[in-house]
Structure 1
């Protein structure tokens, strides 16, 4: 549930950052207008107060969520309540995410540092995005009794998906997102009802379930450790066109177990690579797909490599196959 909404927010964050400067080709004025719209959407998804019903469609499975969002005194808060399937509720306050699973009587708490793995994405430019995507304004469309502008981002090769986004003309909040593979819509997120209250009360972010007696599990494994990445460690080579290493960090997953995580992006799409000792977790061998998410894993010596992202299968496989280990001078005897 939250992965889809996180991807929704993340996409506009990345694309909006890509729109921070004007384009420079013969369609410069049109490009600058679209880039500015995407940039406003990136801001709106974090800074607007809004509440409504969000529908998520993937692999013929339909999930419906109630969403409440507030930005106040520099703090972003959000509450998601599942209206279909197994009861679930997620409350986010800044970097603290609380997930409530009432059927299991479990509360999961995760903490995320602000300087997370996406801290360096702001380096990407509109020129970089447009080198691998065509961006078009398809004009006005109507959704949830509101008028928006439909923006299409089409890939120029087989290593990335396309996107269609409907952006509200009054608030610049994204109202709909289609993730597109060829002529097929792989995933779809859209508001079927939405309001923009001037204020949102504090009690809107209180749990809807009585969690007294629930088991509380704290996930500290999400923290990026200060442990440095070894210079003689795994290095990316021959990446898919346009993809570059954006972040590189080490995460603690057990008391003595560490996983290296690398984040790659082309300015819109993102891919994560996990490098861990073999046997630390159940290994993934070969390719697997779930909706728009593709993953590829293989074991090299005593190391498990897993690459995952909302990109085509060819992209994750190429990245996984081209992570190579560079031995240190001590290892080579020089």
Structure 2
């Protein structure tokens, strides 16, 4: 009896210690992620950028064990994104609707809603900032701040009752807002599930199956990545209009992503340029006879450091591109 009692006490102690390893702010983010994936709800929100305000509506429900989602753009030409389990359909003006296999919607939603919180905890600090009121509900406020200062940060407002995200401010390294996601109304109701269930009966475009491609070996690598960024894919292709051969690699830390492009420098190349628009940064420079360009959701200083860290495994040369090789689509957030 005594050994059993000792084992039980040890087990309780381990559980208690494990629970204390998770901060209240991290636990709150786990609750937010769980609510995002499991509740039936509708969010009407606006996406505020420096020179625009875009109204949208997001509905989510679990239908027969699968996550269903729908994003509708409420101004301008009709645009819509529909998720049914691991299939996502896109309806954009000017192009034919299409469906791809994925579990993440490429749409104007905060990336933190679709990411792995445990993975983020190795790269970001979760700092509680108290309580506030947003979208008519009481909220807990948490800052998601990078440990290394080489990426952006978020301040999140999470509904105390539903645990849904009702506001997210994306901040630059100086703490200035780059863009805001702000919910105007939050509805959690089984009726949302009833509406979403109708999507199961809708005929959507067939899934686009991309041809399998062998792993593309490149003659260069990025030697100074911010901690936690990992390669998602690499590719060789030709630009659609100029037929210029390009090699690329895409990296992500689960919250932000960027791509590095390498091509042969020509008379149109400039020694160095930096362009930033909102969250998106473009930095390019010339290395030997190659033009290196970094594009993504990272601060300008980080983009510059990444571009300058590109090293050639072999001597630089024009990318060897197979004629007609298609570029793989990017799943970059927003």
State if a TM-score over 0.5 links the two structures. Answer: yes
Q: Kindly tell me: are residues 29 and 203 of structure 1, through their superposed partners in 2, closer, same or farther at Cα, counting changes over 3 Å?
A: closer
Specify the SS of the correspondent of 1:87. Answer: coil
1:124 aligns with 119
Which residue, out of 63, 76, 80, partners 2:54?
Answer: 63
Which of the two has higher C-alpha Rg? 2
* 1:185 Cα deviation after fit: 1.3
Unaligned runs of 5+ in 2: 1-14, 106-110, 316-334
Which residue, out of 266, 274, 277, partners 1:290?
Answer: 277
2:258 aligns with 272
1:187 aligns with 179
* 1:205 Cα deviation after fit: 4.0
Structure 1 CA distance, aligned partners of 2:27 and 2:142? 12
How large is the RMSD of aligned CA atoms in angstroms? 4.2
Q: Kindly tell me: are residues 84 and 179 of structure 1, through their superposed partners in 2, closer, same or farther at Cα, counting changes over 3 Å?
A: same
Unaligned runs of 5+ in 1: 1-20, 329-334
Specify the SS of the correspondent of 2:59. Answer: strand
After alignment, is 147-156 or 315-324 more displaced? 147-156
Structure 2 CA distance, aligned partners of 1:110 and 1:74? 20
1:240-251 aligned within 5 A: 240=226, 242-250=227-235
Structure 1 CA distance, aligned partners of 2:290 and 2:64? 45
CA contact (8 A) 1:165 1:177 kept: yes
1:152-163 aligned within 5 A: 152-155=143-146, 158-163=149-154
Which residue, out of 293, 297, 300, partners 1:306?
Answer: 293
Q: Kindly tell me: are residues 224 and 159 of structure 1, through their superposed partners in 2, closer, same or farther at Cα, counting changes over 3 Å?
A: farther
Structure 2 CA distance, aligned partners of 1:23 and 1:294? 42
CA contact (8 A) 1:269 1:311 kept: no
CA contact (8 A) 1:108 1:217 kept: no
* 1:273 Cα deviation after fit: 1.9
Q: Kindly tell me: are residues 140 and 152 of structure 1, through their superposed partners in 2, closer, same or farther at Cα, counting changes over 3 Å?
A: same
Which residue, out of 79, 104, 111, partners 2:100?
Answer: 111
Return the TM-score normalized by structure 2. 0.68
* 1:144 Cα deviation after fit: 2.2
1:233 aligns with 219
Structure 1 CA distance, aligned partners of 2:104 and 2:45? 28
Q: Kindly tell me: are residues 32 and 246 of structure 1, through their superposed partners in 2, closer, same or farther at Cα, counting changes over 3 Å?
A: farther
Q: Kindly tell me: are residues 113 and 298 of structure 1, through their superposed partners in 2, closer, same or farther at Cα, counting changes over 3 Å?
A: farther
Structure 2 CA distance, aligned partners of 1:259 and 1:179? 30
Return the TM-score normalized by structure 1. 0.68
Deviation string 1:214-238 (CA, Å, 9 cap, x unpaired) is: xx99976xx59441132x6322212
Structure 1 CA distance, aligned partners of 2:103 and 2:81? 19
Structure 1 CA distance, aligned partners of 2:187 and 2:135? 10
